[in-house]
Amino acid sequence: MSTLQIRDLHVSVDTADGPKPILRGVDLTVNSGETHALMGPNGSGKSTLAYSIAGHPKYQITSGEVLLDGEDVLEMTVDERARAGLFLAMQYPVEVPGVTVANFLRTAKTAIDGQAPKLRTWVAEVRSTMERLRMDPTFAERNVNEGFSGGEKKRHEILQLELLAPKFAILDETDSGLDVDALRVVSEGVNRVLENTDVGVLLITHYTRILRYIQPDFVHVFVDGRIAEEGGPELAERLEAEGYDRFLTAGV
């Protein structure tokens, strides 16, 4: 059993007018095997939380801590966080010219495991995983995300998730820009990981549509840089019916 603990996390970003607080005291614990949905309106700080955990240099931790099995994540470099078991699926995956998908995946697997996977079994695993995600095998020879559609980029993120098998996965608006068919395929990939590993998932989203495919154990409403309310799947259904107005008008 592994645990990811976020304790009273405060984060700011630098602006022309000085530091601007974004996260205002976030407390959240994710255990192995749990799926947490983090829902909130645009600009509430959801993606800031994801990138702060992953170690993006743009975001300045002003106080609080993030612990992975008791170890201070904030003292780790970005690659150390990945090797410790953290995975971030980005809302807008970046292109990596000159690096093929096949080379990228094998390099990442080698870095995380400390040794290169056996080539024959690895190639077969990559191919079968791509097939389940309905990805053309030729994608393995293309440069990472270069010329990929939005849906193809998101499938590639889930391909990484399935192959790298992290302890904790932060999925930042994985449903963004997906049509119905792509959303189903991507969700099936996440569910395979949930069924076959003990991964803990923090699923960040605006909408409930992905939660029709990926069942959360816990739902957290995120407003103005903090968690405003917590509950089970029924909370997501209430948000679908009522939206976020009651949190915004209350000035939370």
Reported as a single tens digit per residue, the pLDDT across 102-120 is: 999 999 999 999 999 999 9
> What confidence category does residue 77 fall into, taking pLDDT thresholds of 50, 70 and 90?
very high
pTM (predicted TM-score): 0.92
What number is the average pLDDT over the span 3-27?
A: 95
Within 133-232, residue ranges assigned H as helices are 150-164, 180-196
pLDDT at residue 243, as a whole number: 86
> What confidence category does residue 250 fall into, taking pLDDT thresholds of 50, 70 and 90?
low
Nearest to 90 by CA among 9, 148, 30: 148
What is the rounded average pLDDT for all residues in the chain?
93
